[in-house]
């Protein structure tokens, strides 16, 4: 096992926590629109206050003409705001209904897990937020209009509010163009695969850097069971677990890996060298959900890329070129990890003592995840077999000797499968010829 000690930043500091809250909010579609509604309500209050101050200044002044022009401007904009309030909600429904159909088509062709790309899309959330905020603002502005015909008797002339509504309409139109462009991009397999790969590399980048080798954690003294609903282990709050272990003078070891399915009563943490931390100290340290996330899951990117390739190789789709595109990224991801320490990550406290051991997939497991299932479905697809051979050869050039075994194993198994599936010697030689484009 190639464990390593982790200290992110200067010695003597806790590792920088990977915020689970921020990542969980990114995986929701309600937070941004809700925050936008609250913000626009606050802006409307400020605009209403500014309108009141402007109106009082005009009414107490001698410029009758300026007051009349201000009221006339607000009345002219009222027709526009009325149209906005009546049309915006219908527009929102039509636009997002069409978009959801497009997302459903993409998920059916690539993988159901690509729906996460839409949910995490910043442009989608921002567009939906601005649309709802514009609709709400238009209603609030209409409420501010006063029907009093006498300019000196009116107590509300929403000039600033009307301008704010027009600005929001302009922003909505601008974001709509960006949203349509983003939705169309999401339907392209190249964009989906590239997005998944970039997310996977962010997980690698957020892994704290290794500084020193760590020893064994000591004798196991207790185990802590999972209490709560069953589900996928999405992530753990590293900083809280380190603090809880430091307080008790123990070492905590996460038993399941991120992405494993856990059920109530099964152990999730092992305690080494002392008493277990209190239940209160461990509150909100383990997050369980209905599906995996990218936050701390090193293998989730490979899982999605493999799913896309398998869907492409199915008889219903029969798209080996898409499988080759997924293999390109699988090789890229494995090449980035070929010389990095894996198996487990050790998190230290301020004094540099190991307090939390977090398991991560090993090299053999990552190679199997990237190639095993695709290899089993590829013997009769020469475009895919040629790309697999080329990818394995590239990784063998990069990998140290101790990590070449799983690569050689998959290469030998692929050769075996092609020899069994392809009767003609010339076809076998063609299918096993390395080609980075499959069949260019």
Helix (H) or strand (E) holding 393: helix 382-398
Q: Between 404 and 157, name the one with better pLDDT.
A: 404
**Does pTM surpass 0.75?**
yes
Task: Give which of 162, 135, 144, 160 is closest to 46, Cα–Cα.
Answer: 160
State the alpha helices, DSSP H only, in 61-188.
64-109, 115-119, 122-144, 159-186
| Cβ atoms of residues 77 and 165 within 8 Å | yes
Answer whether residue 147 shows pLDDT above 70.
no
Q: Mention every residue, 6+ apart, whose C-beta is less than 8 A from residue 402.
A: none
Q: Between 120 and 38, name the one with better pLDDT.
A: 38
Strand partners, 6: 210, 347
pLDDT recorded at residue 108: 75
Mean pLDDT of 296-323: 91
Domains of the chain, residue spans? 22-200
d(CA 146, CA 58): 16
Answer whether residue 429 shows pLDDT above 50.
yes
Mean pLDDT of 199-208: 82
CA angle 44, 45, 47 (to 5 degrees): 60
Q: What share of the chain is helix, strand, coil (3-state, %, to 5)?
A: 60, 10, 30
Answer whether residue 4 shows pLDDT above 60.
no
How much of the chain, in percent, has pLDDT values that exceed 90?
39
pLDDT recorded at residue 280: 87
| Cβ atoms of residues 128 and 99 within 8 Å | no
Q: Mention every residue, 6+ apart, whose C-beta is less than 8 A from residue 366.
A: 298, 299, 302, 334, 337, 342
| Cβ atoms of residues 85 and 131 within 8 Å | no
> For residues 379-398, b (16+ Cβ closer than 10 Å) or e, as one string?
bebbbbbbbbbbbbebbeee
Q: Between 120 and 334, name the one with better pLDDT.
A: 334
d(CA 363, CA 367): 6
Tokens 């999401």: give the residue: 186
d(CA 33, CA 423): 59
CA distances from 31 to 38, 126, 169, 403 (A): 11, 11, 22, 44
| Cβ atoms of residues 40 and 133 within 8 Å | yes
Q: Between 210 and 143, name the one with better pLDDT.
A: 143
Q: How confident is the model at residue 85 (pLDDT cuts 50, 70, 90)?
A: confident
Mean pLDDT of 391-404: 94
Q: How confident is the model at residue 412 (pLDDT cuts 50, 70, 90)?
A: very high
Per-residue pLDDT tens over the stretch 157-174: 678 888 898 899 999 989
| Cβ atoms of residues 6 and 345 within 8 Å | yes
Strand partners, 224: 269
d(CA 58, CA 306): 68
Answer whether residue 421 shows pLDDT above 70.
yes
CA dihedral over 201, 204, 209, 212, signed as positive or negative: negative
pLDDT recorded at residue 14: 38
For 175-218, give the DSSP string.
HHHHHHHHHHHHTSHHHHHHHHHHHHHHHHHHSPPEEE------
Answer whether residue 285 shows pLDDT above 90.
no
Strand partners, 212: 5
Q: Are strands 286-289 and 251-254 parallel, antiparallel or unpaired?
A: unpaired
The Cβ of residue 155 has, within 10 Å, a number of other Cβ atoms equal to 10
Measured in Å, how far apart are the chain's first and last C-alpha atoms? 40
């Amino acid at each position: 096992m190639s464990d390593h000690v982790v200290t992110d930043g200067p010695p003597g500091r806790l590792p920088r926590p990977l915020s689970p809250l921020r990542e969980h909010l990114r995986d929701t579609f309600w937070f941004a629109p809700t925050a936008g509604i609250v913000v626009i309500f606050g802006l409307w209050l400020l605009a209403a206050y500014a309108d009141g101050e402007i109106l009082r200044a005009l009414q107490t002044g001698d410029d009758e003409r300026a007051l009349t022009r201000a009221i006339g401007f607000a009345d002219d904009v009222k027709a526009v705001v009325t149209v906005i309030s009546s049309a915006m909600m219908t527009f929102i429904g039509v636009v997002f209904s069409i978009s959801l159909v497009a997302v459903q088509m993409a998920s059916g062709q690539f993988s159901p897990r690509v729906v996460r790309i839409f949910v995490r899309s910043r442009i989608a959330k921002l567009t939906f937020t601005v649309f709802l905020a514009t609709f709400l603002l238009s209603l609030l502005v209409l409420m501010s209009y006063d029907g009093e015909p006498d300019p000196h008797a009116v107590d509300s002339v929403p000039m600033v509010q009307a301008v704010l509504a027009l600005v929001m309409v302009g922003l909505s139109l601008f974001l709509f163009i960006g949203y349509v462009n983003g939705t169309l991009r999401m339907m392209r397999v190249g964009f989906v695969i590239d997005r998944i790969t970039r997310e996977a590399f962010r997980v690698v980048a957020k892994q704290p850097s290794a500084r020193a080798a760590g020893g064994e954690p000591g004798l196991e003294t207790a185990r802590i069971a999972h209490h709560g609903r069953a589900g996928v282990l999405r992530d753990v709050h590293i900083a809280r677990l380190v603090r809880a272990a430091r307080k008790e003078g123990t070492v905590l070891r996460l038993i399941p890996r991120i992405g494993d399915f856990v059920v109530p009563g099964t152990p999730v943490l092992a305690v080494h060298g002392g008493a277990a931390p209190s239940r209160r100290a461990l509150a909100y340290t383990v997050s369980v959900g209905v599906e995996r996330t990218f936050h701390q899951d090193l293998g989730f990117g490979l899982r999605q890329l493999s799913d896309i390739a398998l869907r492409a190789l199915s008889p219903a789709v029969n798209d080996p070129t898409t499988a080759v595109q997924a293999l390109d990224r699988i090789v890229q991801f494995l090449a980035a990890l070929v010389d990095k320490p894996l198996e487990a990550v050790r998190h230290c406290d301020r004094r540099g003592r190991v307090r939390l051991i977090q398991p991560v997939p090993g090299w053999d497991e990552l190679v199997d995840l990237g190639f095993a299932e695709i290899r089993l479905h590829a013997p009769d697809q020469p475009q895919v077999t040629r790309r697999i051979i080329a990818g394995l050869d590239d990784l063998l050039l990069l990998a140290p000797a101790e990590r070449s075994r799983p690569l050689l194993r998959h290469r030998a198994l692929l050769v075996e499968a092609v020899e069994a599936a392809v009767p003609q010697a010339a076809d076998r030689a063609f299918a096993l010829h390395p080609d980075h484009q499959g069949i260019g």
